[in-house]
Amino acid sequence: MDDTRQNRIYLTGFMGSGKSTIGPILANTLGYGFIDIDKEIERSTGKKIIDIFSELGEGHFREVERSVLLEACRLNKHVISLGGGTISNQSNLDIIKSSGILIYLKTNTEQIHKRLRRKTNRPLILAKSNGVISDQELTKRINELLIQREPYYTQADIIISTDDRKLGITVDQIMKSLTPFIK
Ligand code: S3P
């Protein structure tokens, strides 16, 4: 393996899979820095993600996301929490896989549903008016997106299930799985 890949640990997974919560804890445990792609997008544009989607569209959001990824992939010794859709094109996935170790936090539809219900800050699970959608519609959207994205998520180097697990246990599992990758 390219030795420099251990300098960047990427976290991927569906919205609500715990990337932004687990990322800083993992970074602390490894003695690495931490960066969250979504927060970086909001910082660099001065806009909330929901406003970028409504004012400029998803296409524009994906362009900003890619440019933030291109900056992040040069950082040394960092844990990088991706957005749930960052890996959903092969070219972003190639950048990620060639520059670091990719961990997929796998969560089932039921758990995702529980965690995302009533959340109003994720444009892809809101109505056009930015209102909350019905439970049934939410399940449908989660399943549609998961079907599109699983082929990308599952290209991760490490897959960790986060269903019903305490945070500390998930972080321990990640640390064990990282051992062969980090010298
Ligand atoms: C998105 C996930 C969000 C954010 C944006 C789009 C997606 O990030 O990047 O709303 O396409 O799944 P989280 O996965 O951190 O919620």
Ligand 1: atom nearest CA of 121 is 10
Name the CA radius of gyration of the chain, rounded. 16
**pLDDT tens-place values along the chain, 183 residues long:** 567 999 999 999 999 999 999 999 999 999 999 999 999 999 999 999 999 999 999 999 999 999 999 999 999 999 999 999 999 999 999 999 999 999 999 999 999 999 999 899 999 999 988 899 999 999 999 999 999 999 999 999 999 999 878 899 999 999 999 999 987
Nearest CA to ligand 1 atom 9: 83
CATH placement of domain 3-107+154-166: 3.40.50.300
One DSSP character per residue, 135-166 reads HHHHHHHHHHHHHHHHHHHTTSSEEEE-TT--
| C-alpha span between 5 and 99 (Å, rounded) | 5
| Every domain of the chain and the residues it spans | 3-107+154-166
Q: Residues, the chain, total?
A: 183
pLDDT at 118: 87
| C-alpha span between 52 and 75 (Å, rounded) | 25
| C-alpha span between 111 and 164 (Å, rounded) | 8
> For residue 126, which amino acid is it?
L
Give residue 89 CA to ligand 1 midpoint distance, Å: 14
